[in-house]
Amino acid sequence: MKKIGTLNQPLSEIIAGMGHGDMLVIADAGLPIPAGVRRIDLALTPGIPGFLPTLEVILSELQVESAIVAGETAEVSPQIYEGVKAALEYVPVAMVSHEEFKALTSQAVAIVRTGECTPYANIILKSGVTF
């Protein structure tokens, strides 16, 4: 049995297989998932698991060089945006429109669906390298 990090087998597999520049999306319960993009559905009930705790677990395993959020996040859900900034303290976070964000998700290796029901609680993490 795995000792640390995520115990979710599909999520662990995705993170272990990511290369430099690959994108992983962490999404709220309502973000549309494009056809052809792998879905890792963690949602159990509204709010569980939450977006920010899921982000923290993934950040403990994934080397991230940059991130993308929808500009609407800061306006509509400032608590989510502040949590993202705190979790990614030294990582550049770009902002795009929500429509651009949804278009970018089609390039992701996977989308991790949480039970989060806060609007715009979504992020794209771009994988970095550890060397």
- The pLDDT of residue 110 is 98
Cβ burial, residue 96 (10 Å; 0-12/13-18/19+): middle
Q: pLDDT per residue over 24-43, tens digit each?
A: 999 999 999 999 999 999 99
Q: How confident is the model at residue 68 (pLDDT cuts 50, 70, 90)?
A: very high
Catalytic residue among 9, 16, 20, 97: 20
- The pLDDT of residue 26 is 98
- The pLDDT of residue 3 is 82
Asked whether the predicted pLDDT for residue 5 surpasses 90, the reply is no
With tokens 């705190």, the residue in question is 86
Catalytic site residue 98?
A: no
Asked whether the predicted pLDDT for residue 1 surpasses 90, the reply is no
Q: What is the pTM of this model?
A: 0.96
Asked whether the predicted pLDDT for residue 14 surpasses 90, the reply is yes
Task: Please state which of the four CATH numbers 3.40.1650.10, 3.30.420.40, 2.130.10.10, 3.40.50.300 is assigned to the domain occupying 9-127.
Answer: 3.40.1650.10
- The pLDDT of residue 20 is 98
- Per-domain boundaries in the chain: 9-127
Task: Output the average pLDDT for the chain.
Answer: 97
Q: pLDDT per residue over 93-126, tens digit each?
A: 999 999 999 999 999 999 999 999 999 999 999 9
Residue 126 to residues 18, 83, 115: CA-CA distances in angstroms?
Answer: 10, 18, 22
